[in-house]
Amino acid sequence: MDRIIVQGGEVLNGQVHTSGSKNSALPLLFATLLCDGKFIFKNIPDLKDIDSTRELLGHLGAIAARDGDKYIVSVKDVRDHRAPYDLVRKMRAGILCLGPLLARYGEAIVSLPGGCAIGTRPIDKHLDAMKVLGAELDIQDGYVHAKVKKLRGGNIVFDGVTVGGTENVIMAAVLAEGETIIENAAKEPEVTDLVDLLNKMGAKIQGRTTSILKIQGVEKLCPAEHTVIPDRIEAGTLLIAGAITGGEVTVTNCVPQHLEALTFKMRESGFNISSEADTITVHRCKGWNGTDVTTAPFPGFATDLQAQFMALMTQAEGTSIITESIFENRFMHVQELNRLNANIAHRTQVAVVRGRKGGLKGAPVMATDLRASASLILAGLVAEGETEVARVYHLDRGYERLEKKLESLGAKVSRIRG
Ligand code: EPZ
């Protein structure tokens, strides 16, 4: 298993490019199951989760391959409607093939994704929504067996915002008979990116970027070309990398509007942040104050930036109270940050960070999940001495060569192949 070694103390400066969004690319790739033909994508990031999705699509009969800066998906009569456990287990978003397979073939046998480090990750909201559209569902041997003659439109009101649930039911509704209304839909930019692709394919979806989506089912869809939006979580992570070291870093090819909750909190803490059309710059800052954050669905503070922001607050003057309201177990980076001599106490949903500039000391630490691994690397940038982050396969699921990007900004960071 690879490890990442960080020598703390370097100030990061310069420009760094944002890759395409993992959490947008995944549903976009599953949407290709909705019709035959050749899809041409651009800005699909080179990540383990994309490789896992390609493997699952291949198993179903949709062939995906990178061709230069393009990512081609050729779909011809998907023959297998079964998404096996060993593929879905590796990448939970595999559950997103449920909606497209049901819509197109009236049948899907999809492994329950199971939980992960940050929570039990249930899919009850996905399944309840499919039932509203007329699907018959049966759980057997860890698989969802779903079937329907023809999906029909219905009214869905999510009792809690679910990104994947919204994406799954949108992909089911676009080929259903009649109109579907989804209320309390997730408004994440990745959901909007999926709506934009589906409308290019001939779907009739109104209400993009809002929490109420109105979908008129159509008979057929066609393949399309699409460029994936930039990864707002990677962009936020890179911005924090500049901030935590007191440097000046410009993140390019990003969407500042997608990061307003983060930049608001960083400004509140004392940072000077400026932005242009597709860049955000954090300016040099000698010292910043603690500030409180509660994670929330978009446009609130992204739960996927909570761990990274916590690393930043370990260097703040004063205390920060960080409340994680989305997942039930998303503080596993706390004990690892404390191994680096941070001073953080936490209960289930709330962490209290007592900041102290320069207090971190390098040590071996363990990545437990995707965003926690980024948080530990950020902390290593300012810890005295060497920090070794183990189990970085978590990192590779969601970041495209993060250590290379940090190195290009002046960080002393390397990967040891293990
Ligand atoms: C997506 O996960 C993202 N993953 C997550 O990013 C992100 O943290 C999350 O949205 C929240 O923004 C992808 O897009 C591939 P949810 P998803 O359904 O769709 C509960 C990362 O680091 N819930 O919005 O699985 C659930 O337990 C990953 O890139 C139900 O109770 O998240 C959670 O508490 C981590 N029943 C909350 O809702 C359901 O049927 C939000 O989950 C579905 C969800």
Q: Which of 88-97, 208-217, 403-412 has the lowest mean pLDDT?
A: 88-97
d(CA 164, CA 123): 9
Say what the pLDDT of residue 240 is. Answer: 98
Residue 405 CB less than 6 A away from ligand 1: no
Which residue's alpha carbon is at the smallest distance from atom 44 of ligand 1? 162
* Nearest ligand 1 atom, CA 116: 35
pTM attached to this predicted model:
0.98
Which candidate, 308, 316, 302, places its Cα nearest to that of 353? Answer: 316
**How many alpha carbons fall within 13 Å on the CB side of residue 243?**
32
* Nearest ligand 1 atom, CA 93: 15
d(CA 209, CA 62): 29
pLDDT in tens, 359-368: 999 999 999 9
Say if residue 342's pLDDT is above 80.
yes
- Asked if residues 320 and 353 have their Cβ atoms less than 8 Å apart, the reply is yes
Task: Determine the distance separating the centroid of ligand 1 and the alpha carbon of 302, expressed in angstroms.
Answer: 11
d(CA 75, CA 80): 12
d(CA 401, CA 200): 31
Task: Determine the distance separating the centroid of ligand 1 and the alpha carbon of 249, expressed in angstroms.
Answer: 30
Which residue's alpha carbon is at the smallest distance from atom 13 of ligand 1? 23
Say what the pLDDT of residue 144 is. Answer: 96
As a whole-number percent, the residues of the chain with pLDDT over 70 amount to: 100
Mean pLDDT of 139-166: 97
Residue 114 CB less than 6 A away from ligand 1: no
Structure tokens at 161: 């915002």
pLDDT in tens, 65-81: 999 999 999 999 788 89
Say what the pLDDT of residue 90 is. Answer: 83
CA 72 to mean position of chain CA atoms: 22
Residue 197 CB less than 6 A away from ligand 1: no
Which residue's alpha carbon is at the smallest distance from atom 10 of ligand 1? 163
Backbone angles phi, psi at 330, to 5 degrees: -110, 40
Which residue's alpha carbon is at the smallest distance from atom 26 of ligand 1? 121
Which candidate, 237, 167, 175, 174, places its Cα nearest to that of 18? Answer: 237
Task: Determine the distance separating the centroid of ligand 1 and the alpha carbon of 127, expressed in angstroms.
Answer: 14
Residue 160 CB less than 6 A away from ligand 1: yes
Q: What SS3 string covers 179-225?
A: EEEEECCCCCHHHHHHHHHHHHCCCEEECCCCCEEEEECCCCCCCCE
- Position of tokens 């896992």? 52
Confidence of residue 379 (pLDDT cuts 50, 70, 90): very high
Task: Determine the distance separating the centroid of ligand 1 and the alpha carbon of 359, expressed in angstroms.
Answer: 34
Say what the pLDDT of residue 343 is. Answer: 98
Amino acid identity for residue 289 in this structure: N
d(CA 91, CA 59): 14
- Position of tokens 């990003």? 254
Say if residue 264's pLDDT is above 80.
yes
* Nearest ligand 1 atom, CA 127: 40
Mean pLDDT score of the chain? 96
Question: Please, is 76 exposed, middle or buried when counting C-beta atoms within 10 Å of its C-beta (0-12, 13-18, 19+)?
Answer: exposed
Say what the pLDDT of residue 418 is. Answer: 85
Structure tokens at 219: 């008979």
Say if residue 4's pLDDT is above 90.
yes
Residue 395 CB less than 6 A away from ligand 1: no
Residue 121 CB less than 6 A away from ligand 1: yes
Residue 47 CB less than 6 A away from ligand 1: no
3-state secondary structure (DSSP) of residue 16: strand
- Position of tokens 């060993």? 86
Say if residue 293's pLDDT is above 90.
yes
- Asked if residues 231 and 21 have their Cβ atoms less than 8 Å apart, the reply is yes
Task: Determine the distance separating the centroid of ligand 1 and the alpha carbon of 326, expressed in angstroms.
Answer: 8
Mean pLDDT of 271-297: 98
Mean pLDDT of 135-159: 97
Mean pLDDT of 336-349: 97
Say what the pLDDT of residue 226 is. Answer: 98
Q: H helices of 32-162, where?
A: 48-60, 85-88, 98-105, 124-132
Mean pLDDT of 120-142: 96
d(CA 51, CA 316): 38
3-state secondary structure (DSSP) of residue 293: strand
d(CA 382, CA 360): 7
Other C-beta atoms closer than 10 Å to the C-beta of 225 total 12
Residue 193 CB less than 6 A away from ligand 1: no
- Which residues are catalytically annotated? 116
d(CA 56, CA 51): 9
Say what the pLDDT of residue 34 is. Answer: 97
Which residue's alpha carbon is at the smallest distance from atom 25 of ligand 1? 164
pLDDT in tens, 176-214: 999 999 999 999 999 999 999 999 999 999 999 999 999
- Position of tokens 């999705």? 53
Say if residue 115's pLDDT is above 80.
no
Confidence of residue 217 (pLDDT cuts 50, 70, 90): very high
Which residue's alpha carbon is at the smallest distance from atom 3 of ligand 1? 23
Say what the pLDDT of residue 180 is. Answer: 98
Mean pLDDT of 288-292: 98
Which residue's alpha carbon is at the smallest distance from atom 38 of ligand 1? 162
pLDDT in tens, 22-33: 999 999 999 999
Amino acid identity for residue 227 in this structure: T
Say if residue 116's pLDDT is above 90.
no
As a whole-number percent, the residues of the chain with pLDDT over 90 amount to: 94
- Position of tokens 């102290």? 356
